[in-house]
Amino acid sequence: MEIATATRNPLADVSYEDLYRRWEHGQWSSTELDFSTDSEEWQTELSDFERRAALWNYSLFFWGEDAVTDGLSPYIDAAPLEEQKYFLATQQADEARHAVFFNRFMKEVVGIGGDSVSDGLKAIEPNLNWGFREVFGRLETMCAELRRNPSIPRLAAAVTLYHVVIEATLAQTGQHFITSYLTERDLLPAFRSGMENVAADEQRHIAFGVKLLSDLRELDPEVPAAVSDLLREILPATVSVIVPPGWDERYLTVFGSTFEDIAEEGIVSILSKLRSAGMPLDELPGPPPFPVAGTPRQRAERTKRLLKAGYIGEKTGPPSAGSEDMGLLFDAVAAGLDSGAVSEPGAIQWEFRDAEPWHVIVTNGSTRAARGRADAPRLTLKTTFEDFVDVVANRADPRLMVARGRLRARGDLRWLWKSRRMFPV
Ligand SMILES: [Fe+2]
Ligand SMILES: [Fe+2]
């Protein structure tokens, strides 16, 4: 019996009609919630710091709900089936209701904002961090791209960003975090009940997104590559969304979760959604989008170290040149190469003016990084460690660096050209 459940297609019972029906049955009112107990508890039951931490976190939700309401129209236009368009229309109404709910909370409980939703958004804007701005900035450009080019691969990339990254990886994980501590401490009853309704809506949106992605994959063989490219681009910013202000982890631990707990839950979620869509994250074509090895917990821990060392995410200063940190970085660099695209095995040597040398031996199947110098490298790259990190973190264009003489390559340039598709940039 267990084998039968394990191999069953998780989408077998999901239909667009049924998802629509679930929407009709799942109505709730954000305008009828009574926030009076919440207002009182916000002042009396939470410490100053807890209020600040909650406001930071809830601000991301408020801004996010507004952005996803505005951003869904081109998805409706691009969806190939009427049933998909109808569901997306219900989803757009849900997202508006979520934004109204958060706006009411900010105004009536926290006491910020003004007469319009824009006033509320303006008031919370300073709370948005770098990762959040990157992810939601990408949603805006994605909507414009989808309007210009409503192709199946573009729609698949757009659904990956909206339903898989923003809803399943970020929002669902955040909602779970919030409702857990509010339930445990029996706090903010109206807000909590609204959050539970928001979470139920999101679950429906995510189920739809996974099904749509799986159906789009059947329609066009370019879909997995489009999904892979989008993830490679956006995952470093995605993990940066949960970086608390000034890396002060009390913003999370004050409510009982660590950075690693939340990141791990997000990783588990994205792995399972992509698997259900028939495109497991670690089997996508091209250079691996998430080149950090291990269990979801280890991937969360290593990702945090890469962020704190300044190797991915927001640039806040020079990167760490610590030996252990560099080892972790080069493991990710090696894992991020598409070794299937290598013409012949060979070593790439990095010579840094400001840090110890490292190399990567590229062979199909056993690519690995090592400290020091390789014998007879095929390619030697000379640069500063900081410039190299800026390329890895997608902050700088390597072609521009070559043109400016900040990155110099010597060796077998024919090999480099023939193997160029191994590089993620
Ligand atoms: Fe929402
Ligand atoms: Fe949603």
CA distance 285 to 281: 9
Give the pLDDT of residue 4.
Answer: 41
pLDDT category of residue 323 using cuts at 50, 70 and 90 = very high
Q: Which residues neighbour ligand 2 (ion) by CB within 5 Å?
A: 167, 202, 205
Q: Which helix (H) or strand (E) holds 76?
A: helix 73-78
Split at pLDDT 50, 70, 90, the class of 13 is confident
Phi, psi at 86, each rounded to 5°: -65, -45
Per the domain annotation, does 315 fall within a domain? no
Claim to verify: residue 265 and residue 343 sit in the same structural domain: no
Residue 302: inside a domain: yes
Nearest ligand to the CA atom of 100? 1
Q: Which residue has the tokens 């660590």?
A: 258
The secondary element (H helix, E strand) that includes residue 71 is helix 48-71
Claim to verify: residue 124 and residue 228 sit in the same structural domain:
yes
The predicted-structure confidence for 357-406, as pLDDT tens digits, reads as follows: 999 999 987 899 999 999 999 999 999 999 999 999 999 999 999 999 99
Say which amino acid occupies 55.
L
- Does residue 3 carry a pLDDT above 50? no
375 plus 304 within the same structural domain: no
The alpha carbon of 378 and the centre of ligand 2 are apart by a number of angstroms equal to 49
Query: Which H or E element spans position 350?
Result: strand 346-352
Residues 348 and 270 in one domain: no
Both 295 and 382 in one domain: the answer is no
CA distances (Å), 268 to each of 205, 274, 350, 414, in order?
Answer: 18, 10, 34, 41
Is residue 257 assigned to a domain? yes
- Closest ligand to the CA of 65: 1
**CATH code of the domain in which 409 resides:** 3.30.1050.10
pTM of this prediction? 0.95
Residue 332 domain-assigned? Answer: yes
Single out the residue in 308, 341, 366 at which a domain terminates: 308
| For the CA of 72, the nearest ligand | 2
Q: Of 253, 277, 308, at which residue does a domain stop? A: 308
- Kindly state whether residues 83 and 168 are assigned to the same domain: yes
Which pLDDT band holds residue 239 (cuts at 50, 70, 90)? very high
Ligand nearest to the CA of 102: 1
Residue 376 burial (CB count, 10 A) = 8
**Is 70 exceeded by the pLDDT of residue 149?**
yes
Measure 95 CA to ligand 1 centroid, in angstroms: 4
Q: Ligand 1: distance of its center to the CA of 200 in Å?
A: 10
Name the domain boundary from 279, 308, 337.
Answer: 308
Compute, in angstroms, the gap from residue 94 CA to the centroid of ligand 1: 6
CB within 8 A of 317, min separation 6: which ones?
310
| Domain hosting residue 351, numbered range | 326-422
Same domain, 393 and 300: no
- The pLDDT tens digits for 253-272 are 999 999 999 999 999 999 99
Residues 272 and 150 in one domain: yes
Which candidate, 325, 307, 160, places its Cα nearest to that of 242? Answer: 307
Assess whether 244 and 384 both reside in one domain.
Answer: no
- For residue 273, the model assigns a pLDDT of 98
Same domain, 134 and 44: yes
Angle, CA 210 vertex, CA 209 and CA 211 arms, to 5°: 90
Between the CA of 91 and the centroid of ligand 2 the distance, in Å, is: 7
Calculate the average pLDDT of the chain. 95
Portion of the chain with pLDDT greater than 70, in percent: 97
Q: What is the per-residue burial (b if ≥16 Cβ within 10 Å, else e) of 323-346?
A: eebbebbbbbbbbbbbbebbbebb
- Confidence class for position 42, pLDDT limits 50, 70, 90: very high
Q: Is residue 318 part of a domain?
A: no
Q: Which ligand is nearest to the CA of 61?
A: 1
* Same-domain check for residues 147 and 178: yes
Query: Looking at the predicted structure, is the pLDDT value of residue 2 above 70?
Result: no
Mean of the pLDDT values across residues 135-153? Answer: 98
Mean per-residue pLDDT, 167-193? 97
Task: Indicate the Cα dihedral angle 258, 260, 265, 271, nearest 10°.
Answer: 170
**Do 37 and 98 lie in a common domain?**
yes
The answer to whether residue 378 sits within a structural domain is yes
Cα of 53 vs its chain's centroid, Å: 21
What's residue 5's pLDDT?
Answer: 43
User: Does 335 fall in a domain?
Assistant: yes
Is residue 192 in a domain? yes
Task: Identify the nearest ligand to the CA of 166 by its number.
Answer: 2
Cα-to-centroid distance, 145 and ligand 2 (Å): 20
Q: Which CATH number fits the domain that encloses residue 138?
A: 1.10.620.20
The confidence score (pLDDT) of residue 9 equals 66
pLDDT value, residue 11: 77
Report the number of distinct structural domains present in the chain.
Answer: 2
Rounded to the nearest angstrom, the distance between the alpha carbon of 246 and the centre of ligand 2 is 29
